[in-house]
Amino acid sequence: MFTLEQIKAAHSKVKSGADFPAYIQELKSIGLLSYTQFVSDGNTVYLGQNNFSIESGAKYPAYTVLNQSNSEKLKTDLKAHQQGQSNYLTFCEQAAAAGVEKWAVDTNKMTCTYYDKSGTSMLAEVIPG
């Protein structure tokens, strides 16, 4: 089973969205199957085999997630983040402003899906690598 310390160590290597694919590969290598991050405060639920789960708790001061989702803003901000133009906290703040309540990563399918407050998928991406 993986630990929060292993996850934090992997995350410490992420400087921008450009590092995200390597981060997901490292999480997969320690047995993480999926995770869901809540944009409002960064709380993340990590899932492994045999229903193993751990929760991070809040990672940063709360952002207000807008009720009105804006997929185009999300796409623009995500593209800039993936090109290394923003850091993690800036992207989280931008995601909240675009109405993203959470994102879910599946390490088997290598996907990251962004959801609004109604649970509607705003964007689903295949993670390279």
The answer to whether the beta carbons of residues 42 and 88 sit under 8 Å apart is: no
- Domain span at 71: 4-126
Number of domains within the chain: 1
Is 29 within 8 Å of 45 (Cβ atoms)? no
* pLDDT tens, residue by residue, 43-89: 999 999 999 999 999 999 999 999 999 999 999 999 998 888 988 89
State pTM to two decimals. 0.92
What does the mean pLDDT of the chain come to?
Answer: 94
DSSP 8-state class, residue 118: T
33 torsion bin: left (phi>0), alpha (psi -120 to 50), beta (else): alpha
| Residue with the larger pLDDT of the pair 125 and 82 | 125
Residue 60 sits in a domain of what CATH number?
3.30.1810.10
